[in-house]
Amino acid sequence: MILLDYRDKRPIYEQVVEKLEHLIVSGALEENTKMPSVRSLGMELVVNPNTIQRAYTQLEQKGYLYTVAGRGSFVAPESEWRDGKKEKMLEEWHLATRKAKEAGLTEDVLTSELHRIYGEGTK
């Protein structure tokens, strides 16, 4: 599920790219999974389909998606986008965890927040 922050100063398409990248890298969207059509995802997120098309185009340029003419967009195999993406996410997570601990949050609070955001299957 993608939640957009309309108060965020970044353009909506950048938020969509970020959220979909995260879903792909985390494995929530598996390789060769068919992505929603531009129109249907636009309707679901209540944004212009051109915004979704722009996000899909960026994701394709980054190697996260591939397009099959007449069939739609699909999640690319990990080997197409892996180049440091997981490592970068882990580094960002460790940095965020360290900052949260420095701010006084306990590991239990961090873990419960992770479960709230990503679901109880997260360990």
Which pLDDT score is estimated for 79? 82
Residue 4 contacts residue 49 (beta carbons within 8 Å): no
Closest-CA residue to 88 (of 25, 27, 10): 25
How far apart CA 107 and CA 69 sit, in angstroms, is 47
The residue among 3 and 80 whose pLDDT is bigger is 3
Confidence of residue 77 (pLDDT cuts 50, 70, 90): very high
Question: Does the domain formed by 12-77 have CATH 1.20.1260.10?
Answer: no
**Any idea which residue has 């108060």 for tokens?**
7
Tell me the three state secondary structure of residue 73. Answer: strand
Beta bridge partners of 68: 72
The domain locations on the chain are: 12-77, 85-118
Dihedral of alpha carbons 31, 36, 37, 43, sign: negative
Query: Mean of the pLDDT values across residues 9-30?
Result: 93
Closest of 69, 61, 73, 118 to residue 93, by C-alpha: 118
pLDDT digits (tens, 9 = 90+) for 43-66: 999 999 999 999 999 999 989 999
Q: How many CB atoms lie under 10 A from the CB of residue 34?
A: 12
Between residues 84 and 41, which one has the greater pLDDT?
41
Q: What is the pLDDT, as a whole number, of residue 100?
A: 80
Look at the alpha carbons of 16, 67, 88, 30 in this order and tell me if their dihedral is positive or negative: positive
CB 31 within 8 A of CB 78: yes
Decide which of 103 and 122 is more confident.
Answer: 103
